[in-house]
Amino acid sequence: MTSACVNCLKSLVTALHFLCWLSNAFVVAFGEFMMMHSRFASLVTSFWPVYPANTLVVTGTIATCVCYLGVVGGMRENRCMLISFYVLLSFLISVELAMACVFFVYNREIGTYFEKDLMHSLEVYKISGPGENQTLKDDFDAIQYLFKCCGVHGVADWGGNVPISCCTLDPCNVTDQPNWQEGCVGKLQDWFAKNYLSTAAGVVSMFILQFLCMSITLPLFCCFAVRGQGY
């Protein structure tokens, strides 16, 4: 194999490692975007560790660091760094595959947590005074306004103290306000289910990209190492 061909293949290895790093950095950015724009996490706390935005940020950050090791190792032709990269990437791929399975299975169990958490949040809202638990209040009001619903199972959950976010009018400036009658639990379950499936799809996409990257570059790395042509 000519030196020009070897250098070209080594550049390909580094480029694929960089593509892997770039895609994982994008996953982290997307997870941060979800965390900044999601206003419902404070209401459903039972499964916080596998909340979609948290999972994307944590997994993407770890994968980005691992892929950065591959990029630097490829540029410097450092065998130790590349071996560490492939070992860590193999472990990460296994973890991501397991996570995707957990998301697909866990998606069916979401409903068992929602009703309890939402009812608890609603009771806290009702007993909180002005300025107390403001984040929870804002989140509950946002859900009722955005999803056009009221309470957990319906407007009756609020008793006689229905918040203005339940009003069907916008702006709501009447004394006897008309309220949405449907509860929020079903709509919020559907919203979270879609986010879970999207996150699972994202994790699977990361898995496929990383697997392809390793499938192409690892044989080249081994070939160069055996032939004594670098690495």
pLDDT at position 107 is: 62
CA dihedral 198, 200, 206, 207 (to 10 degrees): -150
Q: Is residue 231 over pLDDT 80? A: no
CA-angle at 35, arms to 98 and 114, nearest 5°: 70
On the CB side of 98, CA atoms within 13 Å amount to 7
Of the candidate ranges 42-51, 98-107, 147-156, the one whose mean pLDDT is the lowest: 42-51
Of the candidate ranges 47-51, 81-85, 99-103, 195-199, the one whose mean pLDDT is the lowest: 47-51
**Over pLDDT 70: what percentage of the chain?**
81
Whether residue 100 contacts residue 200, with contact meaning beta carbons closer than 8 Å, is answered with yes
Backbone CA torsion sign across 9, 14, 15, 21:
positive
Mean of pLDDT values over 143-158? 90
The total of other beta-carbon atoms located within 10 Å of residue 47's CB is 16
CA nearest neighbour of 165 among 183, 184, 143: 143
Banded model confidence at residue 7, pLDDT cuts 50, 70, 90: confident
Banded model confidence at residue 48, pLDDT cuts 50, 70, 90: low
Mean of pLDDT values over 176-195? 83
Query: What is the tens place of the pLDDT at every residue in 88-129?
Result: 888 888 887 777 777 667 666 666 677 888 888 899 988 888
Global pTM value: 0.66
Mean of pLDDT values over 130-136? 83
How many whole angstroms separate alpha carbon 43 and alpha carbon 51? 12
Mean of pLDDT values over 12-31? 83
CA dihedral 103, 105, 109, 114 (to 10 degrees): 10
Q: Is residue 13 over pLDDT 90? A: no
